[in-house]
């Protein structure tokens, strides 16, 4: 049996995942962070993207979209605190495509009521959701 580490992924609304994994990959601000059991303690921000959780003794990954947040790593526990966290299987592709289009239009017009930072954040989240959907559809880990 492989070594495992406990992971909790929670949003402001609910707990999305709680269980043991062989390893986990998170969307760090400077690139992906791969975390295995007994990792050195770490506290860092994560950006919008896909959390990939390798399930023990299985070939599958659990995929969770996060809108960003905080990642805390302890040797036997990983905690993700996200504003929004959604299982990839529950993401709405049409809604994400619409949000992406809306953000791109706001960025192109610049005279929109939406400010530049909000439009860029909305675009980043929509793109991250679409990437999570594509990873799930194509079984990419």
Mean pLDDT by 10 residues, the chain (141 residues): 91 93 94 94 93 92 92 95 87 74 76 66 76 72 57
Predicted TM-score (pTM) of this structure:
0.74
Give the pLDDT of residue 89.
Answer: 78
Give the model's pLDDT for residue 103. Answer: 76
Q: What is the CATH number of domain 5-88?
A: 2.60.15.10
Contact 5, 20 (CB under 8 A): yes
Q: How far apart (Å, rounded) are the C-alpha atoms in residues 64 and 44? A: 18
Q: According to the model, what pLDDT value does residue 52 have? A: 94
Query: What count of Cα atoms within 13 Å lies in the side-chain half-sphere of residue 108?
Result: 6
What are the boundaries of each domain within the chain? 5-88, 91-137
Q: Please answer whether residues 110 and 116 qualify as being in contact, where contact means their C-beta atoms are separated by less than 8 angstroms.
A: yes
| DSSP at 95 | H
Q: Give the pLDDT of residue 73.
A: 96
């Amino acid at each position: 049996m492989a070594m495992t580490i406990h992971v909790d992924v929670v949003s402001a609304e609910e707990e999305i995942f709680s269980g043991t994994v062989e390893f986990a990959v998170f969307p760090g601000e400077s690139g992906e962070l791969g975390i295995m059991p007994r990792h050195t303690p770490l506290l860092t921000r994560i950006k919008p993207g896909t959390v990939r959780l390798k399930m023990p003794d299985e070939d599958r990954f659990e995929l969770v979209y996060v809108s960003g947040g905080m990642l805390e790593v302890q040797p036997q526990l990983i905690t993700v605190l996200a504003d929004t966290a959604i299982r990839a299987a529950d993401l709405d592709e049409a809604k994400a495509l619409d949000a992406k289009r809306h953000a791109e239009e706001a960025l192109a017009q610049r005279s929109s009521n939406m400010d530049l930072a909000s439009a860029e954040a909305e675009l980043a989240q929509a793109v991250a959701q679409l990437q999570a959907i594509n990873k799930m559809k194509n079984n990419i880990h």
